[in-house]
Amino acid sequence: MELKLARTEIDKKPKSIKLNKIEDEISKTDSIIYYFDRDNSHKDLLTLQDHIEGLGKSFYMREVKYGLSDNEYMYEVHIIS
């Protein structure tokens, strides 16, 4: 699975991260926060949640609005061991 990280500039395309890279990073630390782009489907993020919780980690996700428009948001994901 591949997910898109939050954009750093509005007119640029979001960078991608693979599931195995996320697993590597969470294995090295007790707590990590990711910001995912709005282009990710909610279903993919729920699949990520199921996978992370299957590894015995806690998963917290919320939608973060950064503007007044309906499409100005990103997903914040906090993974805790």
Record the pTM. 0.88
pLDDT at residue 6 tops 90 = yes
Task: Report the Cα 80 to chain-centroid distance in Å.
Answer: 13
Measured distance CA(15)–CA(8) in Å, rounded: 9
Report yes or no: 80 and 58 within 8 Å, Cβ to Cβ.
yes
pLDDT tens-place string over residues 48-76: 999 999 999 999 999 999 888 888 899 99
DSSP 9: S
Q: Quote the Cα angle for 37-40-43, to 5°.
A: 140
Q: At 36, which amino acid appears?
A: F
Report pLDDT for 71: 85
Gyration radius of the chain's alpha carbons: 13
